[in-house]
Amino acid sequence: MISLEAALKLSSEELKNLKQDLSKKIKEKKELGAYIEQFLDSEINTSGDGVPVAIKDNIQVKGWSVTSASKILQGYIAPYDATAIVKLKNAGICPFGRTNMDEFAMGSTTATSFYGKTLNPLDNSRVPGGSSGGSAAAVAGGIAIAALGSDTGGSIRQPAAFCGCVGFKPTYGRVSRYGLGAYSSSLDQIGPITQNVKDAAILYDIIKGHDEKDSTSYNGEYKPTNLDPNKKLKIAVIKNYIENTDEVIKNALLKTIEKLKSAGHEIVYKEFSNANIDIAAYYIIANAEASANLSRFDGVRYGRRAEAKNLHELYANTRAEGFGAEVQRRLLLGTFVLSSGYYDAYYVKAQKAREFIRREYEEVFNEADLIFSPVTPTLPYKFGSITEPLKVYLGDLYTVGANLAGLPAISVPVCKTNEGLSISAQLLGKAFDDENVLNGGLVLENLSKE
């Protein structure tokens, strides 16, 4: 598939052909389940004259159905464009399809979607990762030039790693969350999923910027990203994270570190004590915020309304019918940790742990510009092979830290396995040093070609 960089230079005649070709390919690869809906050749031709980019089903595009892949939002039409979408449209990019995801972005497999699962394009018997699995499968499967996803605890980086494409989570506050279906507001961030690092930088530059409509939007300087493949980097390798991954991932990452050294980059070794508390803190905070955010889905204001005899029954029936099992589990957990009597024991403690994690990153950044770590502890697993929720949650242990600390992070493919699966490395940077993270991503990408 043509890169975003090249597509942005096409004439309108060339773009027309590209869209026809894309539409054909999407139909041929329908079994991937990457798209919930696409409008390339429908009457709602929102693709206009621009470069077509795919959009996760939790980002509002005016006039489109937007459902966060949930039954509860069936029938809901977006009344306005998310700020990221306004920016895309202004830059000559047109959203053309809704990609599949885990319901309300809660998950790591894209198997909890109301619309059914998405398959991993590298091996259809394996999960594509999640929650932005539809966006990653579309890009990696050659049926999207680029896509937008959202990342609360790894949902851009992990599916990108499982499918073999690039995923970038910007610093918290750099991309407006206005028009993004809220999961956990203090962690959520929109970002690009692309075929290469240059495209990620291009898409990120388009969607970033201060937005009055998002009170957590960063109100400072936004310079264009300047990529320099020859820049020498100072990288902290998190040794115990790398040792705690499957053998095949460990070996690939160790080889990548050797390549970085030979190319003249400075490597320091560090250990993190936070891996075990990251997951606990993340799942308490994310679920607590989700329980508050999703309380708006009550059968009165948005989407589906269940049959009921009174108001209480209306709430209960709508939620019982509309939310899937994983979402219900998380809302119960989130409500529990915020309830009086448990608030201090869980929620307050998780907030303290979050501050501890943030400081631990800060200390490492006194000695290095970037942190190198795995994205996931395992390769993409087969559908149905991991069913216990806690085991699935543990797969997020290397990605949630960036969200808890608000840091920019990228996942970049560095090697292929013998079975044709992909292995990625993750780079994290200081807050607002998104440029260096993208730059490090470019260095990794170039080294992986050698």
Q: According to DSSP H, which parts of 183-310 are helical?
A: 197-207, 239-243, 247-262, 275-293
Question: Least distance (Å) from ligand GLN to the CB of residue 169?
Answer: 9
Q: Which residues fall within 8 angstroms of residue 179, CB to CB, at 6 or more apart? A: 59, 60, 78, 80, 81, 82, 83, 84, 85
Among 152, 171, 318, 436, binds ligand GLN (CB under 6 A): 152
Q: According to DSSP H, which parts of 263-373 are helical?
A: 275-293, 311-322, 325-338, 349-365
If the CB atoms of residues 130 and 299 are measured against ligand GLN, the closer one turns out to be: 130
Residue 168 in contact with ligand GLN, rule: CB under 6 A: no
Residue 171 in contact with ligand GLN, rule: CB under 6 A: no
| Residue of 23, 47, 108, 131 marked active site | 131
Residue 57 in contact with ligand GLN, rule: CB under 6 A: no
* SS3 state at 84: helix
**What whole-number distance in Å separates Cα of residue 259 and Cα of residue 265?**
9
Phi, psi (rounded to 5 degrees) for 219:
-105, 70
Q: Which residues fall within 8 angstroms of residue 374, CB to CB, at 6 or more apart? A: 241, 242, 245, 249, 253, 398, 425, 426
Question: Least distance (Å) from ligand GLN to the CB of residue 233?
Answer: 26
Among 50, 97, 107, 334, binds ligand GLN (CB under 6 A): 107
Segment 276 to 305, residues that bind ligand GLN, using CB under 6 A: 286
Residue 435 in contact with ligand GLN, rule: CB under 6 A: no
Question: Least distance (Å) from ligand GLN to the CB of residue 382?
Answer: 18
Residue type, 263: A
Residue 39 in contact with ligand GLN, rule: CB under 6 A: no
**Are 189 and 69 within 8 A, CB to CB?**
no
Instruction: Pull the structure tokens for residue 248.
Output: 């095949």
Question: Least distance (Å) from ligand GLN to the CB of residue 113?
Answer: 13
Candidates 150-158, 194-202, 210-218, 245-253: pick the segment binding ligand GLN (CB under 6 A).
150-158
- Annotate each residue in 387-426 with x if it binds ligand GLN (CB under 6 A) or - if it does not, as one string: ---------x------------------------------
* SS3 state at 79: coil
If the CB atoms of residues 237 and 249 are measured against ligand GLN, the closer one turns out to be: 249
CA angle 270, 275, 279 (to 5 degrees): 155
**Are 298 and 317 within 8 A, CB to CB?**
no
Among 47, 70, 155, 376, binds ligand GLN (CB under 6 A): 155
Candidates 44-52, 104-112, 372-380, 415-423: pick the segment binding ligand GLN (CB under 6 A).
104-112
Beta bridge partners, 37, equal 98
Q: How many residues bind ligand GLN (CB under 6 A)?
A: 13
Asked about 231 being catalytic, the answer comes back as no
Residue nearest to ligand GLN (CB): 155
Candidates 145-153, 209-217, 271-279, 430-438: pick the segment binding ligand GLN (CB under 6 A).
145-153
Residue 256 in contact with ligand GLN, rule: CB under 6 A: no
Phi, psi (rounded to 5 degrees) for 43:
-70, -35
Among 35, 183, 218, 346, binds ligand GLN (CB under 6 A): 183
**What whole-number distance in Å separates Cα of residue 382 and Cα of residue 373?**
24
Question: Least distance (Å) from ligand GLN to the CB of residue 326?
Answer: 8
Instruction: Pull the structure tokens for residue 253.
Output: 């990452």
Residue 181 in contact with ligand GLN, rule: CB under 6 A: no
Among 97, 153, 334, 406, binds ligand GLN (CB under 6 A): 153
Asked about 131 being catalytic, the answer comes back as yes
Question: Least distance (Å) from ligand GLN to the CB of residue 56?
Answer: 10
**What whole-number distance in Å separates Cα of residue 202 and Cα of residue 91?**
11
What single DSSP character describes residue 22? H
* SS3 state at 371: strand
Buried/exposed code over 243-268 (b: 16+ C-beta within 10 A; e: otherwise): eebeebbbebbeebbebbeeeebeee
Question: Least distance (Å) from ligand GLN to the CB of residue 346?
Answer: 16
Among 81, 103, 151, 278, binds ligand GLN (CB under 6 A): 151
Residue 70 in contact with ligand GLN, rule: CB under 6 A: no
| Residue of 29, 56, 87, 169 marked active site | 56
Question: Least distance (Å) from ligand GLN to the CB of residue 85?
Answer: 19
| Residue of 155, 176, 184, 448 marked active site | 155
Name residue, tokens 């599949």: 100
Say how far residue 96 (Cα) sits from the centre of its chain: 19
- Active-site residue list: 56, 131, 155
Residues that bind ligand GLN (CB under 6 A): 105-108, 131, 151-155, 183, 286, 396
